[in-house]
Amino acid sequence: MQTSPSVETRPFRELCADHGLTATHQRQVLYEIMQRMPGHPSPEEVYARVKKRIPAISLATVYKNIHLFVEKGVLKEVSMHHGSLRVELNSHLHHHMVCSRCKAITDIEEKDLGVLPTPGRLLGGFQVERYAIDVIGICAACQKAKHS
């Protein structure tokens, strides 16, 4: 398995050039802000922060650029089936714990998840490249909220 170099350490212009994307000031601000946000920010959360630096920006523009980042491979999209677009800045292999109540998505390292079967061939000759596991449950904060 190949590990790609961490995107975070590379200059934005270089990153854009590599992915065939024009590096605009707006995109750079957007990317820098997302880098500083922990976890898997939603476009609305990103918008709230970007607005402070670029007051004229609209939520639609933020959406459009995040989609473009995903489309060009600058960012990775976290699985779609949790209702809202969430993107990934953590470029090393990991899995996710998803809270079914507040939809918080937290990274979990492979070693913390336990031993997984070695990638090989599955039914029908399907060749496994990697696993991306969603552990669905209730996060600690939501458990506390329920009992108080």
Stretch that binds Zn ion, among 2-10, 41-49, 61-69, 105-113 (CB under 5 A): 105-113
Element (H, E) at 94: none
Tokens standing for 3?
């590990």
Q: Which helix (H) or strand (E) holds 24?
A: none
Could you say whether residue 89 binds Zn ion (CB under 5 A)? no
Q: Pick the binder of Zn ion from 107, 110, 113, 134 (CB under 5 A).
A: 107
Cα torsion angle, 122, 100, 40, 48, sign = positive
Q: Which is nearer to Zn ion, 128 or 136 (CB)?
A: 136
* Contact window for Zn ion (CB under 5 A) among 29-37, 44-52, 89-97, 129-137: 89-97
| Environment class of 74 (CB within 10 Å of its CB; exposed 0-12, middle 13-18, buried 19+) | buried
Residue ranges that bind Zn ion, judged by CB under 5 A: 88, 90, 99, 101-102, 104, 107, 139, 142
